[in-house]
A = this chain, B = another copy of it.
Amino acid sequence: MEYTVQKLATLAGVSSRTLRYYDEIGILKPARINSSGYRIYGQDEVDRLQQILFYRELGLDLDSIKKMVTAPYFDGAQALKEHREKLLEKRQQLDALIANVEKTIATKEGRITMSDQEKFEGFKKKLVEDNEHKYGEEIRQKYGDDQVDQSNAKMMNMSQEDYEKVTKLANQVNETLAEAFKTGDPAGELAQKAADLHKQWLTFYWKEYSKEAHAGLGQMYVDDERFTAYYDKEQPGTAEFLRDAILIYTGMKK
């Protein structure tokens, strides 16, 4: 029995375009081409197509499928295991996503006090904090602590009350820092107050506080342009000023 594209497509439950595409990418070529240029498929091609569709249903990409059905000694089981790993990872991400979406819905519906403005002010800070987490890798290596890991978990469990506290604290840091910057003296009263507020803010995210880590973070504000850009937003030089204030506050410099 021989088939034209449409016949085979109908038999297998795919579109004729799909078969042409499979021909194009060389995953399933017709047995022969007749005098009018029509694709003619035979039994072998039917069988091969079943294999292809089977693997496709498992979510494998066509490139992998090609290897599986083409290379005679290809390790299919291995490929499937790798595929499974990818799927499992996907599911993890999906689960995390769903949890986040649900949290956001709850926030949108339940909490009355947070205006959009406030909320996104919070998120903006969260982004910077995320950067800190990302770059916290360095801190972790320097101080051998797991406080960076902890900060994530801690933030996730923050109550609405805590959230407001930390937001307020962050604002105070910024305000005090802006005032202090005008004095130009990182050892001055205002600057030291800013450093203290910064420490308080930090303790919301870090499980344990250490002077070394605090000072390290201050240095990072200067070294990493992401932080620099954030702190220098209003007044260029603020990041450096904050670092100096922290160095003095922690007693690492006087």
Contact = CB atoms under 8 A, between A and B. Distances in A.
A105 B9 CA distance: 28
Nearest to A235: B1
A120 B81 contact: no
A83 B101 CA distance: 8
Interface string A6-24: 0100111100000000000
Given A94-B91, A101-B87, A51 B234 contact: no
Interface in A221-244: 225-226, 229-230, 232-234
A135 to B, nearest CB: 11
Interface in A71-118: 76-77, 80-81, 83-84, 87-88, 90-91, 94-95, 97-98, 100-102, 104-105, 108-109
Nearest to A128: B11
Interface residues of A, number: 53
Nearest to A51: B120
A80 B101 contact: yes
A161 interface: no
A156 interface: no
B76 A108 contact: yes
18 contacts: A1-B232, A11-B226, A13-B127, A13-B226, A43-B233, A46-B124, A47-B124, A50-B123, A51-B120, A58-B100, A59-B101, A77-B105, A80-B108, A84-B98, A84-B101, A84-B102, A84-B105, A91-B98
Interface of A: 1, 3, 7, 10-13, 43, 46-47, 50-51, 53-54, 57-59, 76-77, 80-81, 83-84, 87-88, 90-91, 94-95, 97-98, 100-102, 104-105, 108-109, 120-121, 123-124, 127, 130-131, 134, 225-226, 229-230, 232-234
